[in-house]
Chains A and B, each alone.
Chain A
Amino acid sequence: DAKTTQPNSMESNEEEPVHLPCNHSTISGTDYIHWYRQLPSQGPEYVIHGLTSNVNNRMASLAIAEDRKSSTLILHRATLRDAAVYYCILRSTSTSTGANSKLTFGKGITLSVRP
């Protein structure tokens, strides 16, 4: 699996935007960029994913570099509830092999939100 690199931790103030970076220099053309987060004492939850274009949903935005070697998850107004570990994960678009559909979690980035 192609690897991702994230900072260990970030801090943010409540109600301010947060930009969480992810480097994936060995990404292949068939890899989707997925973001999941894990709130304290909960299972991971899906945040957003994209392939080439920037994506928006109700939770966040995903900005993907033109060369796809990096991406940024953007939380537009951080709340205390957004304090979590955020994982950037690459997943192949291939549907033919079950092994491609697993999620390979790294250490993620721990986001702290100050009131």
Chain B
Amino acid sequence: DSGVTQTPKHLITATGQRVTLRCSPRSGDLSVYWYQQSLDQGLQFLIHYYNGEERAKGNILERFSAQQFPDLHSELNLSSLELGDSALYFCASSVAAGGYNEQFFGPGTRLTVL
């Protein structure tokens, strides 16, 4: 158990809909990262928040947005869903924002768009 929790575990929805994925980092971790894992693209970095502020963006679509709240939990919002958005979405946390800090991953949310 990494100490990072993600809800829900599974999500099935229809095209055009909007969903929210939630992540609670390990106690004391200020950084939250979101990654998407699909069969064709592998594991891809989406976005990084540190202590409530956005620090870096990766391959995140404009239909997707995220935020980190004062209690440090984070939400990833996916809207106007398409079939291709079906994937595993992982959240990871680390103590700080530096490139040497270990990231702890949650169990993921499996999103299926029908």
Contact = CB atoms under 8 A, between A and B. Distances in A.
Interface of A: 32, 36, 38, 42-46, 49, 87, 91-95, 97-107
A49 B100 contact: yes
A105 B102 contact: no
B101 interface: yes
A63 B50 CA distance: 32
B45 A98 contact: no
Given A93-B98, A95-B97, 15 more contacts: A43-B106, A43-B108, A44-B43, A44-B90, A45-B104, A45-B105, A46-B104, A87-B43, A91-B99, A91-B100, A98-B56, A101-B94, A102-B48, A103-B103, A105-B42
A109 B49 CA distance: 29
A97 B42 CA distance: 24
Interface of B: 2, 4, 31, 33, 35, 42-45, 48, 50, 54-56, 58, 90, 92, 94, 96-108
A46 to B, nearest CB: 4
Given A44-B105, A46-B103, A95 B96 contact: yes
Contacts of B4: 43
Contacts of B96: 95
B98 A95 contact: yes
Given A43-B90, A95-B96, A101 B48 contact: yes
A99 B100 CA distance: 12
21 contacts: A32-B100, A42-B108, A43-B92, A43-B105, A45-B2, A46-B102, A46-B104, A49-B102, A92-B99, A97-B56, A98-B50, A100-B98, A100-B99, A101-B31, A101-B33, A101-B48, A102-B45, A102-B56, A103-B33, A103-B35, A106-B42
